Chain A
Amino acid sequence: MTKINEWLASNTFHHSQYWDLLKLVEEKEKQNLTISLCIPTLNEETTIGKEVIIFISELMKRYPLLDEIAVIDSGSTDKTLDVASTFGADVYLSADILPEYGEKKGKGENLWKAIYQLKGDIIVYVDADIKNIHPRFVYGLVAPLIYRPEIKYVKAFYDRPLAFSQGVRPSGGGRVTEILTRPMFSLFFPELTAIIQPLSGEYAVRREVLERIPFPIGYGVETSHLIDVYHQWGMDAFGQTDLDQRVHRNQATRSLGKMSFGIMQTFLNRCESLGVINEMPDLGKVLYQFQAHDKTYEPIEHAIVEEERPPMMEIAEYREKFHPND
């Protein structure tokens, strides 16, 4: 626990530490860094307009922290793309990026393709379904990367876990985090339990890390990132920032079951490839859920296969674009 406590003390931040955006932008410019924001979307017309407006106004026009704001879409059928482009975001269809590598459905696919499409030295990912969006969702994650060169991957969390004026209280993530991810990390990678919300969809990462890790295209992308970054760079590469509250849609328990199934696939595959678990049997690819009709029970089958994209550095087109001299 000592190491976890030390890491929590040195690598856990609160967004209010970074209120001075002028200073942050100066430091960014001094380091000649470029920063890209990626918002992965699929039918987010009710919240995307607000996100784009706030980030463009506050973090491009008022304080030029971001060099580009891009929406990478999985094929929305609503007005997501129209609204986002109207308010000034660069809009891309995931299928149009590296088309020769095909199209896979899943948020991880958009995140992976963003590495090729966007130009930033740092890419910050922010989900599109945040109702209480605020500039802190970006600057709170980017600032530790700007001020602390040794940190490579900053994750968001949405609570105040370290001190609380009215006494101690449990702190952490949502249901899947507390019931699945945290117990699994506690069993196999205890240090990673220090990441308070391992499944949060908001994080900022240096390109040098993003281009060297594989991307599951589905539910397991965040879990695999943590294990892979931990394995290659250790705990000191991580930071995490308290962004206070995040208001978003709540998912039904059944949907969380599918999410958990995908995360477990990724987690167990990682454990095997890293030698943490030996001789794994072939894993099932179907999640069974049940629904009742009077006195009969009908099984519902969900085929969930966590495919992975390789590290971007293995893609020739990427190396040509970003590392032409290597």
Chain B
Amino acid sequence: MKKLSNGLPTMEEILQQLPDMQNGLEEMREVVLANLVMLGEIPSPTFQEADRVQFLVNRFSECGLASISTDEAGNGLAVHPGTKGDRNILLVAHTDTVFPRTVDHSMSVEKECVTGPGVADNSLGVAVLASLPTILEHLNINLSSNLILMGATRSLGRGNLSGLRFFLSNSEMPVHCGVCVEGMELGRLSFNSIGMIRGEIQCEVPENYDWTGIAASGAISVINETINQICAIPLPKKPYSTIILGSVEGGNSFNTIATEARLRFEARSDSVEIVAQIDELLNDIVAEMKYRSKAKVTLETLALRQPGGIGFRHPLVRNVRNIMQALDIQPHVSPSLSELSAFIDHKIPAVTIGITHGERHNQEDESIQIEPIYKGLAQLIGSLMAIDGGYCDKD
């Protein structure tokens, strides 16, 4: 194979070897699926990822990686040392899922698919991390850069990416480039983030409430009125802006006035100014509802994202697109609100990619297809090789 003077394959050579690589990856099926099942059957709700991370670092240890550790945030880390080791690529998958421990985490493996809670989001991503050292050895691929493998904690919901943020703020290994791995959807390509504010509005009616007030029919009425006011916020189509009402909870029975209710929401916009305006309006609405209802109404901001990231023409994005094309993967470009945002905040170029096709996302019978995994892995390894070769650096 033709090499550059640094001994690494050219970009053309990387693209040419991807179809063969995909075939070689089929031999790794049992390794990946066994890791997927064993990791996926360990419950890992946000803030309680320790057992899953422990399994992951044990796997790193069995593979003989270097610098295996769990940090103060609970992240599981290891370094796959590069032949030169002059640059560091961070490959990250979040280890938390939306499912509580009480859910039956049994996985079912059929001929074409694997089913179980969190199998796509993100047990498969973590299983890829656990399997990657074995896969690279099997394919006889030696990267020049250090590959930092990281099972990140506290990513979802109230976790607010704090595991990855902790690492990026405190690591002594400067990260040159980042790749975030999600179980699904194959073809996903995220390289920028939109602005976002995620929060929870809570209403509590005190026991000694004067029941002639607006909250006389309970906390649910207050939340209902709050929702009406949020829906009345004018939002521009350009820049794209939206408010998602994610969940409403309140009350306990048919005939008891609800004394507590809460609304979870996420406001998103391509414009940082509009996110700030929405935030201000939400605070006004909550203050007004508090005044009018005489109940306790609070707004808790759980997460904030700044819009940003790299552009469509950035060499990292261009080469990942080329890799997808070589593997006949149709790219679906979409902004991300997940781990990518933490990289953006630290001005580190990064992409998020998916490994396979799936369905029933975040339901207990979430399912992924087995066959496309090989293509998804080839895409990931090709991307790592492209980054390693320096083909994704900005001119």
Contact = CB atoms under 8 A, between A and B. Distances in A.
Contact of A57 (B30, B41, B110, B111): B30
B108 A57 contact: no
B30 A79 contact: no
Nearest to A54: B34
A83 B110 contact: yes
A54 B38 contact: yes
Given A53-B37, A131-B106, A134-B38, A79 B31 contact: no
A44 to B, nearest CB: 11
A247 B106 contact: yes
B92 interface: no
Contacts of B35: 57
Interface string A46-79: 1101100110111001100000000000000001
B348 interface: no
Interface residues of A, number: 22
B30 A50 contact: no
Provide the main secondary structure of the chain A interface.
Answer: helix
Provide the main secondary structure of the chain B interface.
Answer: helix
Given A50-B37, A131-B106, A88 B111 contact: no
A61 B111 contact: no
B262 to A, nearest CB: 35
Contacts of B110: 45-46, 49, 79, 83
A132 B41 contact: yes
Interface string B21-60: 0000000011101110110010000000000000000000
Interface in A218-256: 247
A87 interface: yes
A58 B108 contact: no
A81 to B, nearest CB: 11
B310 interface: no
A62 B62 contact: yes
B282 interface: no
Nearest to B33: A53
30 contacts: A47-B108, A49-B108, A50-B107, A50-B108, A53-B30, A53-B34, A53-B37, A53-B109, A54-B38, A56-B34, A57-B30, A57-B31, A57-B33, A57-B34, A57-B35, A58-B34, A61-B30, A61-B31, A83-B109, A83-B110, A83-B111, A86-B111, A87-B29, A87-B33, A87-B109, A88-B30, A131-B106, A132-B41, A132-B106, A134-B38
Interface of A: 45-47, 49-50, 53-54, 56-58, 61-62, 79, 82-83, 86-88, 131-132, 134, 247
Closest 6 A/B residue pairs (Cβ): A57-B34, A49-B109, A57-B30, A50-B109, A131-B106, A56-B30
